[in-house]
Amino acid sequence: MPPEAPEGERAAQKPESLWKDMWYSLTQNKPAMVSLVVISLLVIIAIVTAIAPQVLPCDPYQQDLSQSFEGPSAEHWFGTDQQGRDIFSRILIGSQISLTVGLLSVAISLTIGVALGAIAGYKGGIVDTIIMRFMDMMLAIPSILLAIAFMAALGRGIDKAIIAIGFVSIPEYARIVRSQILAVKQTDYVAAARVIGDSDATIIFRHVLPNVLPSIIVRATLGISGAILDAAALGFLGLGVQPPAAEWGDMLGRGRNYIFRAPHAMIFPGLAITITVLAFNLLGDGIRDAFDPKARKR
């Protein structure tokens, strides 16, 4: 039998903290790491094309009707759309809109949802009843229909889409945080914080919320994929980002009218949406498993 490693060496190999243990488990999850690479690549593309759009192979907004619906070629890798614009360049620059909508809408829903859930769970009583019944009313309506209703009231545009998508996702975060806080607020360290005179705000943000942070991180990661999908759905229906801006859902919606004549105009934007949403979902699943001691890979 091979000799055992010295105790000091074994200790050095063990993760030193919860976060290191979580990261080690996440690195052992191949789908999650591949997804992280894909997401990192999308972020780099979005930043580079925003700072230096000249790196794009073609001008994503330049129209040339003489080249409309050209198939994939060496000059146009993903072909051209009905107005002769390069689809590959438009997909690359469209990552800016999709990631912006995903991140900002989740930031809105996360901030408001966590605050409402924390107040409802910690205060209880009539405050909890009023807040959570309002959340239940919002959950009774499918999120995409509620987002469409908000877009109809607010108007079209990326800023309106961010507000609409962020607002309809608030109940999910509120319910998660409330359920976690109901369990955490009965612990001894919360009771000790009350005894020494800490305010409710201090107890919530210093002692309670850090303990529900893993659940919030997992839901936020999955929420980004949902927000990107909702933004694409609004664009597909013509209610989201408006032309000439390059948005994957809008490109998909316009390409569907020519699915038999030029299927590439619909296939490539659809693949961009699918790969991005799948990457965030797989990463979210990997983070959830990494935070779960029973599912954690060692």
Q: What is the CATH number of the domain that holds 209?
A: 1.10.3720.10
Instruction: Give how far the C-alpha of residue 181 lies from the chain's centroid of Cα atoms, to the nearest Å.
Output: 23
Asked if residues 265 and 244 have their Cβ atoms less than 8 Å apart, the reply is no
Q: Is residue 165 part of a domain?
A: yes
User: What DSSP string runs through 111-158?
Assistant: HHHHHHHHHHHHH-HHHHHHHHHHHHHHHTS-HHHHHHHHHHHH-SSH
Query: How high is the mean pLDDT in each 10-residue block of the chain (298 residues)?
Result: 48 55 82 92 92 86 84 86 88 91 92 90 87 90 85 82 90 88 76 75 73 82 90 84 82 85 89 93 87 59
Q: Is residue 77 part of a domain?
A: no
Q: Is residue 130 part of a domain?
A: yes
| Residue 175 structural domain | 38-52+83-291
Asked if residues 234 and 242 have their Cβ atoms less than 8 Å apart, the reply is no
Buried b (16+ CB within 10 A) or exposed e, 162-197: bbbbbbbbbbbbbbbbbebbeebbeeeebeebeeee
Q: Is residue 139 part of a domain?
A: yes
Q: What is the pLDDT of residue 298?
A: 53
Q: Is residue 107 part of a domain?
A: yes
| Number of independent structural domains in the chain | 1
Q: Is residue 14 part of a domain?
A: no
